[in-house]
Amino acid sequence: MKQLVIIIALVLTGTGVTAQINLNKIKQAVTQSSLSGEEAGAGLKEALILGAAKGSDLVSQVDGYYQNPQIKIPFPPEVRNVETKLRQIGMGAEVDKFVLALNRAAEDAAKEAKPVFVSAIKQMTIQDAFGILKGQPDAATQYLKKTTSAELTQKFKPIIQQSLAKVNATQYYSSLVNTYNKIPLVKKVNPSLDDYATTKALDGLFLMVAQEEKNIRQNPQARTTALLKKVFASQR
Rounded distance, CA 27 to CA 10, Å? 12
Q: What is the pTM of this model?
A: 0.69
- Domain range annotation of the chain: 49-219
Instruction: Calculate ∠ Cα 202-204-207, nearest 5°.
Output: 110
Q: Residues 189-197: contacts with CB within 8 Å, 24+ apart?
A: 189/79, 189/82, 193/76, 193/102, 193/164, 193/169, 194/157, 194/160, 194/161, 194/164, 195/157, 196/76, 197/73, 197/102, 197/105, 197/106, 197/160, 197/164, 197/169
Rounded distance, CA 61 to CA 148, Å? 21
For residue 188, give every residue at least 6 positions away whose Cβ sits within 8 Å of its Cβ, in sequence order, or none: 181
Kindly give the confidence (pLDDT) of every residue in the chain, 236 residues in length, as a single tens digit, with 9 standing for 90 and above: 444 443 334 333 443 333 333 333 333 443 444 555 566 566 677 777 877 888 899 999 999 999 999 999 998 876 777 788 888 989 888 889 888 988 998 998 888 888 898 888 888 776 676 666 566 778 888 888 999 999 999 988 888 888 788 767 777 777 777 888 888 877 777 656 788 889 999 999 999 988 887 877 777 776 667 766 665 454 44
Tell which residue, 75, 139, 110, 64, has the closest CA to residue 202: 110
CA distances from 222 to 6, 213, 231 (A): 21, 10, 13
Rounded distance, CA 223 to CA 99, Å? 36
Instruction: Calculate ∠ Cα 204-149-225, nearest 5°.
Output: 70
